[in-house]
A = this chain, B = another copy of it.
Amino acid sequence: MKKILTLLASLCILAGALHAQELANFNFGGRGVQVVSPVIQGDSVTFNFRADYATYVKLSASWAPGQIDMARGANNIWSVKLPLPSPEIYTYNFVVDGVAVNDPQNILVQRDGNRFLNMLIVPGERTENYTEANRRGTVSHPWYDSKILGINRRLTVYTPYGYEQNPKKKYPVLYLLHGAGGDEEAWISMGRTAQILDNLIEKGLAEPMIVVMPNGNANQQAAQTLGIPTKPQQYDRNAIQNLPEAERMRAQNGYVMSLCEEIVPFIEKNFRVIAKPEARAIAGLSMGGGHTISASILYPQLFDYICPLSAAGSATPEQIATLKKAGVKLYFLACGDADFLFEGSKTLDKTLTEQGLDHIYYVSDGGHTWANWRLYLNTFARLLFK
């Protein structure tokens, strides 16, 4: 049944050009001179970037204000040497004649919304749980159908090391929510969720748990990287107040309803989980902190562990009183002291105290940053399900 199929008609690509392009990856950025960047040596870090025709090259670094001049050296390699910042994961890019450019020598890249930025991981005690453990869990991307939101939607799910090997074991679940501008990939990439959980579980510091990271944009099926158009907003923001109550509820809290009424059952059907409030935790940052607070108010029986982080949200004394009555094993409220939402966290702490709901109010240095959200996850994950 030998057949020779020659396809000529349907293709008008210029084969030579494609060929040259796609083979370029065999040659890792050579162009004659080997450039390495970034280079950590002792207490310094050096950035190197080749630009033959640039008028200027600067470094834009998340740990330093403004843009830092780089100097042209031999072979048109522009460089700058800086003191190594304290252990953390930072981001940076170069600015060439006014245009932002990533470091072509550094394959460590993260996406923040629609921006791709290089990572600089400074090793140390603070970051030791942010790099690869020896025993790793599985990260998967299942899709669930949302009747509430009318779309099929992508999830990120972390199952811990040993999940496949122990087919009888059931696990508790942390629902971990991102902020505005984020999506279902934010916590797993910028938040280093898999690395943090792998390390904590390997060291015996956290219970083996499943972590579910949904997409918190109610009109989105998946991260924009997949190219699926976002659904138009269903409701006019100004008209929401005039809707009948059930519809207003859905307009205002559609995503939280889908989380609690669709995602939780989907996970409990398709993964081996302990389907009880004492084995469910919810945590979220910024907008996701608001979702966390809303979920705890609208579904007070669902989660025994509640962790709003740098949260954009509030709760009334009555709502906290209801939550207290429902029973809470851990209420972990965290915020940076330079966060623009810091006042809101103080108000919530005060309400929790006045209503007598035992809680941890964890105030860190710094602002509304992934440095803080990684720190919070690395902290509260140890307190869950114990």
Q: How large is the interface on A (under 10, 10 to 19, 20 to 34, 35 or more residues)?
A: 35 or more
- Is B108 in contact with A225, judged by CB distance below 8 angstroms? yes
Shortest distance between the CB of A34 and any CB in chain B (Å): 14
Q: Using Cβ atoms and an 8 Å threshold, which residues of chain B touch A28? A: 113-114
Q: Using Cβ atoms and an 8 Å threshold, which residues of chain B touch A225? A: 107-109
Q: Using Cβ atoms and an 8 Å threshold, which residues of chain B touch A226? A: 132
Q: Using Cβ atoms and an 8 Å threshold, which residues of chain B touch A53? A: 55, 97-99
Near B by CB (< 8 A), chain A positions 70-110 give 85-86, 88, 91, 96-102, 104, 107-109
Of the stretches A206-214, A238-246, A252-260, A364-372, the one at the interface is: A364-372
Q: Using Cβ atoms and an 8 Å threshold, which residues of chain B touch A154? A: 136
Of the stretches A60-68, A298-306, A313-321, the one at the interface is: A60-68
- Is B143 in contact with A138, judged by CB distance below 8 angstroms? yes
Q: Using Cβ atoms and an 8 Å threshold, which residues of chain B touch A115? A: 24-25, 104
Of the stretches A8-16, A37-45, A288-296, the one at the interface is: A8-16
Q: Does A121 touch B at the CB level, under 8 Å?
A: yes
Interface code A243-274, partner B: CB below 8 Å = 1, 0 otherwise? Answer: 00000000000000000000000000110000
Q: Does A232 touch B at the CB level, under 8 Å?
A: no
Query: Which of the listed residues A8, A61, A62, A221 has the most CB atoms from chain B within 10 Å of its own CB?
Result: A62
Shortest distance between the CB of A123 and any CB in chain B (Å): 11
Q: Give how many copies assemble into the complex.
A: 2
Chain B: CB-nearest residue to A6: B363
- Is A358 in contact with B2, judged by CB distance below 8 angstroms? yes
Interface code A344-386, partner B: CB below 8 Å = 1, 0 otherwise? Answer: 0000010001000011111111111111000100000000000
Q: Using Cβ atoms and an 8 Å threshold, which residues of chain B touch A132? A: 221, 226-228
Shortest distance between the CB of A327 and any CB in chain B (Å): 15
- Is A18 in contact with B63, judged by CB distance below 8 angstroms? yes
Query: Which of the listed residues A15, A132, A337 has the most CB atoms from chain B within 10 Å of its own CB?
Result: A15
Q: Using Cβ atoms and an 8 Å threshold, which residues of chain B touch A136? A: 143, 152, 154
Q: Does A5 touch B at the CB level, under 8 Å?
A: yes
- Is B141 in contact with A366, judged by CB distance below 8 angstroms? no
A99-B96, A224-B107, A225-B108 known; A181 vs B141 contact (CB < 8 Å): no
- Is B114 in contact with A1, judged by CB distance below 8 angstroms? no
- Is A164 in contact with B138, judged by CB distance below 8 angstroms? no
Q: Using Cβ atoms and an 8 Å threshold, which residues of chain B touch A182? A: 25
- Is A369 in contact with B19, judged by CB distance below 8 angstroms? yes
Q: Using Cβ atoms and an 8 Å threshold, which residues of chain B touch A24? A: 112, 115
Q: Does A33 touch B at the CB level, under 8 Å?
A: no
Residues of A within 8 A of B (CB): 1-8, 10-19, 21-26, 28-29, 51-55, 61-65, 85-86, 88, 91, 96-102, 104, 107-109, 112-116, 121, 125-126, 131-132, 134-136, 138-143, 152, 154, 164, 180-182, 221, 224-228, 269-270, 336-340, 349, 353, 358-371, 375
Which 6 A-B pairs rank lowest in CB-CB distance, beginning with the nearest?
A140-B140, A25-B113, A19-B367, A53-B98, A25-B181, A15-B366
